[in-house]
């Protein structure tokens, strides 16, 4: 198991020094889902939620979440993001929404945390917008699907 880079020899939390690393193209894609009752699913996908277009608001919130990741995760580096995309897709079989986020940058560290944050914030936004009618919703399956760039190379989930 590799050494944990967010701790010094004394066990104190540290922000990793990436100043000697070259800037390279980085990309990460993450996914997750939010499951809900069939009635809530229909309300969202048919555009009948009282608070408005749930999927569009959640998409925007996910993009904003990716941009705010270093404000939320204490040891994340602030990065100049060159792309953030968030897609929400309805799945009546769940029933619920699948969420996928892709984040790109050219920098000295990866964007996995930004992609994961985008998915989480989008799912939480869906929950917030319709919790008055469905408190039993569940958020899950948040994981990295793809990470590429940097010294550790490419990772693709199975």
Task: Enumerate the active-site residues.
Answer: 128
Of 30, 14, 88, nearest in space to 54 by CA:
88
Give the 3-state secondary structure of residue 58: helix
Of 111, 99, 41, 36, nearest in space to 70 by CA:
111
Distance CA 130, CA 46 (A): 13
Q: Which residue has the tokens 């995309």?
A: 85
Distance CA 114, CA 102 (A): 9
Q: E strands of the chain, at which residues?
A: 24-35, 81-91, 96-107, 138-148, 155-156
């Amino acid at each position: 198991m590799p050494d944990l880079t967010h701790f010094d020899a004394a066990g104190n939390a540290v922000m990793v020094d990436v100043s000697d690393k070259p800037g390279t193209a980085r990309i990460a894609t993450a996914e997750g889902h939010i499951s809900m009752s069939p009635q809530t699913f229909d309300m969202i996908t048919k555009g009948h939620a009282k608070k408005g277009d749930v999927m569009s608001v959640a998409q925007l919130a996910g993009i904003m979440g990716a941009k705010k990741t270093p404000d939320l995760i204490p040891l994340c580096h602030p990065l100049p993001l060159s792309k953030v995309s968030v897609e929400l897709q309805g799945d009546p079989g769940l029933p619920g929404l699948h969420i996928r986020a892709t984040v790109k940058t050219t920098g000295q560290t990866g964007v996995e945390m930004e992609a994961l944050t985008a998915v989480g914030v989008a799912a939480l936004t869906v929950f917030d917008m319709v919790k008055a009618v469905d408190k039993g919703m569940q958020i899950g399956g948040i994981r990295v699907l793809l990470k590429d760039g940097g010294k550790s190379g490419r990772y693709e989930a199975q």
